[in-house]
Amino acid sequence: MTSKKLNMKEKYSLLTRDLEWEYSYRDYEEIFKQESFEGIKITDWSKWEDPFRLTMDSYWKYQAEKEKKLYAIFDAFAQNNGQQNVTDARYVNAIKLFLTGVSPLEYQAYNGFAHTGRQFGGVGARVACQMQALDELRHVQTQIHAMSHYNKHFDGFQDFPHMHDRVWYLSVPKSFFDDARSAGPFEFMVAIGFSFEYVLTNLLFVPFMSGAAYNGDMATVTFGFSAQSDEARHMTLGLEIIKFLLEQHPDNVPIVQRWINKWLWRGYRVLTLVAMMMDYMLPNKVMSWQESFEVYFEEAATSLFKDLARYGIEMPDYAADAIAEKEHLSHQAWSIFYNYGHAAAFHTWMPTDQEMDWLSEKYPNTFDKYYRPRYEKWREMEEAGERFYNPTLPMLCQTCQIPMGFTDMENPTMTSYRQSVYDGERYNFCSNGCKDIFDYEPEKYVQAWLPVHQIYQGNCGGAEMEDVLGEYYRINLGTDNLDFHGSPDEARWNAWHNLQPAEDKLKKAS
Amino acid sequence: MSIEIKTSTLEPIRHTFEHTKRRFGDKPASRYQEASYDIAPEKNFHYRPMWQPDKLLNDSSRTAIVMEDWYAYRDPRQYYYGTYVQARAKLQEVTESNYAFFDKRGFADRMSDEVKAKIIRCLVPLRHMELGANMNNVLCCAYGTSTVLTQAFLYNGMDRLGIAQYLSRIGLLLDGNSTDGLAKAKEHWMTDSAWQGLRRYTENTLVVEDWFEVFIAQDVVLDTLIYDLMYRQFDEKITEEGGSDLAMLIEFMQEWHKDNSRWVDATLKSTVAESEHNKELIGRWVADWQEKAVADMAPLAEIAVGEEAVNASVEVLNKRLAKAGL
Amino acid sequence: MSVAAITENYTGERLDRLENFHGNQVIYIGWDQHLMFCAPVALALPPDTLFSTLLEDVLPGAFSQHPDFAAVDWDAVEWHLNGDEFKPQPGKSLIEQGVDHKSSIRFSTPGLDGIKGSGS
């Protein structure tokens, strides 16, 4: 018997789509309860185009090979104490931020895609989500394993999941993902699959990995390369879901448009942390936040929305707001962390002269005018032994939960204030985007667990700052927080590299 | 004489993360431990889910089972993503070569038409049941509480998809890629009276709300019975009937079931051991679903193997339950 | 506005109700053109706190690290409350003059515009 040769698409379809059957003992609606409440209309799941065609056997095979290589690097990295080869111990703070702020999002993605991987009525979409769930589990686990060795030699990694659930600035990424996961399955896909994975990956994941590459962190960059091929799959899934929704029914278009508006802004606000990481936390700079924003957001999004226009989708209005902020964002963010350096689980510092010059060059319109004087003042205070810490808790935005450090772009030295009154109570925001998001679904955002209010309500371990930071956040005071300068991390680094202890230590010793 | 490559020594300041240290002591934790314990979010969820407003986003009350500590489990296989895919890749490689060998040597042609028809009627329709198993295990992954459990559910779910795909390939091998075999098998699944009970059972599991009950209905009761029936008894039977070459094609499922059972048993055992409440509840679920399953599988068992087949499988299930303390 | 959820009437718990603050209310105060303080500060105070107490006992703790603070001419200060112009009355309590829970106050100090005039 000679066998017919099936092409890949037919074969994949037989091995996946064809497994589905028409339920007759139970109703479709009983089995897929969550498919309709968002208002999305699905007329025909069979129109779903599989974004990739990977049978499980191939998946196992290829991923196993990638894992083998990756762990070979991790082992070698640990064996050789590769952490000694990064450019500078300050760099490590970037990956502390990553492990506490980003890796738990991978976990949430795992959780969220497992959820949609059960809830969608189309087997093609379900399987694609399941595979992404599995990939996201891979990401969180390999990231933990990559950082596991750093954790043995630096402070600030040791309690990352605990911190992610509690620490003030980590509520920014956490609430972002909670927001997506608490939404219905389709909104989740637009939020994460499309806006986050497709549009914003290059601004989130890539800067960390490129930072690692530029700063001698072989473990992290190898993880990055290894994850890239997964990301490509996730991006195609993100695209497919958008196309599918827009093509299924015209009524979906305005819903999707609103989701895109919302999620690009939500995502963009989370990137505030990345902006400051790029401009301030990498000893070897890859590119400035502004440059990367221009290449990966402005240009890329422009061509994307040009294509989406055919479906009747427009570039969100907030894009203009984001673009307006690009020369300020990272500096305002770093100022926030410098203000509250005593409450962060990583170290802060003032840029060196060389670094300031780089910032001036990259931000000719803003840095010297608005930020350099501030930094020079702070440095002066530092040298006088009066390192500036902000003694009072900050006001947060109800939606993005970032301290209200953003300013009015018409008048960049004025804080940007917005307010809504809902059901007799006031709510404050940092921007139009955040306010609109609240106003559209106020019943959702009134629930936000805002760290500052929680502290004032006494829900975070006590009234004393020390209780909040030490007991509740589990930040080890004097090691995890405060300035890099004078930290145990710095001392160990100097010891490994036989560097002279910093001058002030000499002074003290004399 | 010994060889010693010297490398520079740096004393670590700690051996593992704080959460693994709290659990396992201050020594290097294994990769499995670091990847599985205490990494799920636990507190301060910001918004209630639109799709289930009466629960928190992650909420252990999505099952009636109560655990003091949801991390009291341990996967005896110690699968985290890396070890999981590597273990499966290994199985897969051998399986692939078996399928290729079967194809290359034209074993399908050595089977009689009766044997082929029987495989298509009795075995290949399981691909649909495996899809149900995939959905059920993914549900447990999405709603379960601790990574130790949820990751194993996802691995199981993906494995079931893989098995469904292998079963489909068996259909294609037998019908020379004409896809008739798969069409016939689906027909059996949809209309053949031998299968209707099992299809009803499967659809019923898909609407169960309590994820632990889903685990019982699917992974404990149904899988134990069906894997024994089809991959042990039917294998023997079809070998007698001249279909011994099928063995090469279902080795994956047999090996997988052995591997998976270690985890199912451990999970069941830990849960039952936790409290009388759990034990009693699980006992009730098992009884319910077992009763259904036994009735629902009987027609297939009769045709595939014969009279005594159901009882033999039930015995296997009972042994297993006893081992778990039920 | 109601929210599309799987059940009717999705309502969220208002996490920051006044009652949750043990008798205090939260107010926010920002000092224009002094972004050395990266964001307005949040304070938990009894609603009957006098504005003068705020000025004399609270603000110095928050803002006195700034060299401009000592130079502030409090009579010339311009105030806004929740976006509107506002003339605080020192002798009155917060709540009496409309400074209610989660109100946002900002003040500017004409002539003092931060480090080297940079708005910091």
Q: Is pLDDT above 70 for B281?
A: yes
The Cα–Cα gap between A292 and A330 comes to: 12
A377 near C115, Cβ under 8 Å?
Answer: yes
CA–CA min distance A121, chain B (Å): 11
| Number of residues assigned to chain A | 510
Residue of C nearest to A368 (CA): C118
In a domain, C102, yes or no: yes
Which chain C residues touch A426 with a CB distance below 8 Å? Answer: 82, 100-104
Band (pLDDT 50/70/90 cuts) for residue A3 is: low
The Cα–Cα gap between B110 and B116 comes to: 10
The Cα–Cα gap between A335 and A375 comes to: 9
CB contact under 8 A, C6 and B53: yes
- Which residue of A429, A456, A465, A468 to mutate against C (max C Cβ within 10 Å)? A456
In a domain, C10, yes or no: no
pLDDT tens, A372-396? Answer: 999 999 999 999 999 999 999 999 9
Q: A489 or A231, which is more confident? A: A489
Q: Is pLDDT above 60 for A508?
A: no
Domain at A39-321, CATH class: mainly alpha
Residue of B nearest to A12 (CA): B165
The pLDDT, as a whole number, for residue C26 is: 96
The pLDDT, as a whole number, for residue A391 is: 92
Q: Is pLDDT above 60 for B138?
A: yes
Identify which of B268, B223, B224 has the alpha carbon closest to the alpha carbon of residue B130.
B223
In angstroms, what CA-CA distances link A174 with A93, A106, A169, A191, A327?
A: 19, 11, 9, 14, 26
Q: Is pLDDT above 80 for B1?
A: no
The pLDDT, as a whole number, for residue A218 is: 84
CB contact under 8 A, A392 and C61: yes
The pLDDT, as a whole number, for residue A499 is: 61
Q: Is pLDDT above 80 for A481?
A: yes
What residues contact A285, with CB distance under 8 A and at least 6 apart? A214, A278, A279, A358
For chain B, domains (ranges, CATH) are 78-323 (1.10.620.20)
Domain extent for C77:
22-117
Which chain C residues touch A405 with a CB distance below 8 Å? Answer: 35, 38-39
The pLDDT, as a whole number, for residue C9 is: 87
**Enclosing H/E stretch for B21:** helix B18-24
A349 near A282, Cβ under 8 Å?
Answer: no
B140 near B65, Cβ under 8 Å?
Answer: no
CB contact under 8 A, A57 and B178: no
Q: Is pLDDT above 80 for B166?
A: yes
The Cα–Cα gap between A449 and B47 comes to: 8
Q: Which of C1, C26, C118 sits opposite A453 (nearest CB)?
A: C26
pLDDT tens, A368-378? Answer: 999 999 999 99
> Two tokens at C107?
């003040």
| CB-CB neighbours of B177 under 10 Å | 21
A24 touches chain B (CB under 8 A): yes
pLDDT tens, A212-258? Answer: 888 888 889 888 877 877 887 888 899 889 999 999 999 999 999 99
> Two tokens at B115?
């044997």
Q: C119 or A306, which is more confident? A: C119
CA–CA min distance C48, chain A (Å): 17
Mutual angle of helices A123-151 and A103-119, in 10-degree steps: 160
Residue of C nearest to B47 (CA): C12
In a domain, C15, yes or no: no
Q: Where are the alpha helices (DSSP H) in A398-467?
A: 432-440, 442-445, 451-456, 465-466
> Two tokens at A174?
């956490």
In a domain, C9, yes or no: no
C120 near A373, Cβ under 8 Å?
Answer: yes
Q: Is pLDDT above 50 for A490?
A: yes
The pLDDT, as a whole number, for residue A4 is: 61
- Quick one: average pLDDT of A335-348? 96
Q: Work out the angle at residue B258's Cα, subtended by the Cα atoms of residues B252 and B262, and round it to the nearest 5 degrees.
A: 140
Q: Is pLDDT above 90 for A200?
A: no
DSSP-assigned beta bridge partners for residue A483: A348
CB contact under 8 A, C38 and A443: no
B106 touches chain C (CB under 8 A): no
The pLDDT, as a whole number, for residue A503 is: 39
> Two tokens at B92?
């897969």
Q: Is pLDDT above 60 for A364?
A: yes
Q: What are the sequence ranges of the domains in chain A?
A: 39-321, 392-446
The Cα–Cα gap between B263 and B149 comes to: 10
Q: Is pLDDT above 90 for B245?
A: yes
B35 near B81, Cβ under 8 Å?
Answer: yes
Q: Is pLDDT above 90 for C86?
A: yes
- Quick one: average pLDDT of A55-75? 89
CA–CA min distance B313, chain A (Å): 25
Mean per-residue pLDDT of chain B: 94
In angstroms, what CA-CA distances link B69 with B38, B65, B75, B270?
A: 11, 12, 15, 11
The one-letter amino acid code at A157 reads F
φ, ψ for residue A167, nearest 5 deg? -70, 145
The Cα–Cα gap between B221 and B290 comes to: 6
Q: Fill in the DSSP letter of residue C50.
A: B
In a domain, C2, yes or no: no
pLDDT tens, A112-149? Answer: 999 999 999 999 999 999 999 999 999 999 999 999 99
- Which residue of C8, C9, C10 to mutate against B (max B Cβ within 10 Å)? C10
ipTM confidence score? 0.79
The Cα–Cα gap between A188 and A182 comes to: 8
B53 touches chain C (CB under 8 A): yes
Which residue reads 């950082």 in tokens?
A147
| CB-CB neighbours of B253 under 10 Å | 23
Q: How many domains does chain C have?
A: 1
Which chain B residues touch A182 with a CB distance below 8 Å? Answer: 45-51, 57
Q: Is pLDDT above 80 for A501?
A: no
Q: Work out the angle at residue A401's Cα, subtended by the Cα atoms of residues B60 and A392, and round it to the nearest 5 degrees.
A: 115
φ, ψ for residue B7, nearest 5 deg? -125, 160
- Which residue of C9, C10, C16 to mutate against A (max A Cβ within 10 Å)? C16
Subunits with at least 3 CB pairs below 8 A relative to chain A? B, C
Percent of chain C with pLDDT over 90: 92
Band (pLDDT 50/70/90 cuts) for residue A17 is: very high
DSSP string, C38-49: -S-EEEEE-TT-
Q: Can you give the CATH number for the domain in which C75 is found?
A: 3.10.20.560
Which chain B residues touch A79 with a CB distance below 8 Å? Answer: 7
Kindly give the pairing relationship between strand C103-108 and strand C25-31.
Answer: parallel
Give exposure, A53-77, as e/b (b: 16+ Cβ within 10 Å). ebbbbebbbebbebbeebbebbeeb
Q: Which of B47, B50, B52 sits opposite C4 (nearest CB)?
A: B50
Band (pLDDT 50/70/90 cuts) for residue B298 is: very high
